[in-house]
């Protein structure tokens, strides 16, 4: 079995909630971004870094520390390291449907129902797909993410699994 759940605790791999059309994983902050827009952009950059670390099989990927802090940073790194030890990587697309974040001073939360059905394990040596059975059943997970920061500098610091979407 492939261990992907470390990025989101008990929920499964890292990802967002269901609703309308899923957002692209990458998002740049708008020119006149507000606090909530900056938090959402930071959250999606976190996902970009998670996907890049998994793709490379590199738990020390430099981009992770720029977008995450402990305990979440440690969880992601541990998951990537476990997968690498098993000669596995996770590649593909993660679809997001984040709700507007709640920002209070230097903390924020954002709920996302993410879909990882297109984010699949591959053998690091060959790049070939690896068959898995998903314990969650749907590949869609609702998670509340906690962020710390201010201005354009927000980092994902924790997450709470809320169940399926």
pLDDT tens figures, 74-125? 999 999 999 999 999 988 899 999 999 999 999 999 999 999 988 889 998 9
Q: Give the single-character DSSP code of 11.
A: G
What φ, ψ does residue 35 adopt, rounded to 5°? -50, -55
Going edge to edge, which strands form the sheet with 153-164?
102-104, 107-115, 140-150, 153-164
Domain assignment of residue 79, yes or no: yes
Domain assignment of residue 23, yes or no: no
| The two structure tokens encoding residue 61 | 């990927």
Domain assignment of residue 17, yes or no: no
Domain assignment of residue 19, yes or no: no
Domain assignment of residue 80, yes or no: yes
CATH of the domain at 76: 3.10.450.50
pLDDT in tens, 48-67: 999 999 989 999 998 999 99
Structure confidence at residue 131 as a pLDDT band (50, 70, 90) = confident
Average pLDDT score over residue span 2-21: 35
Domain count, the chain: 1
Average pLDDT score over residue span 31-47: 82
Domain assignment of residue 3, yes or no: no
Domain assignment of residue 1, yes or no: no
Residue 120 lies in domain: 35-164
How many other C-beta atoms can be found within 10 angstroms of the C-beta atom of residue 127? 9
Instruction: Indicate if the pLDDT at residue 5 is higher than 60.
Output: no
Specify the range with the lowest mean pLDDT, choosing from 115-119, 153-157, 159-163: 115-119
pLDDT for the residue numbered 135: 54
Instruction: Indicate if the pLDDT at residue 19 is higher than 50.
Output: no
Average pLDDT score over residue span 35-57: 93
Domain assignment of residue 58, yes or no: yes
- Per-residue exposure over 75-114, b if at least 16 CB sit within 10 Å of its own CB, e if not: bbbebbbebbeeebbbeeebbbbbbebebeeeebbbbbbb
Residue 84 backbone class (left: φ over 0; alpha: ψ -120 to 50; beta: rest)? alpha
Which of 125, 31, 32 lies closest to 86, judged by CA? 125
């Amino acid at each position: 079995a492939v261990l992907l759940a470390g990025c989101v605790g008990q929920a499964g791999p890292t990802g967002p909630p269901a609703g309308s059309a899923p957002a692209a994983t990458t998002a740049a902050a708008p020119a006149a971004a507000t606090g909530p827009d900056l938090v959402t952009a930071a959250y999606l950059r976190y996902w970009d870094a998670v996907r890049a670390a998994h793709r490379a099989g590199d738990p020390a990927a430099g981009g992770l520390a720029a977008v995450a802090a402990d305990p979440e940073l440690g969880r992601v790194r541990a998951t990537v390291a476990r997968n690498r030890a098993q000669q596995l990587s996770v590649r593909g697309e993660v679809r997001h449907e984040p709700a507007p974040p709640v920002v209070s001073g230097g903390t924020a939360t954002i709920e996302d129902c993410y879909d990882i059905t297109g984010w699949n394990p591959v053998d690091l040596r060959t790049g070939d797909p690896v068959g898995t059975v998903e314990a969650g059943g749907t590949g869609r997970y609702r998670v509340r993410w906690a962020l710390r920061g201010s201005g354009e500098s927000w980092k994902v610091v924790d997450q709470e699994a809320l169940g399926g979407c």
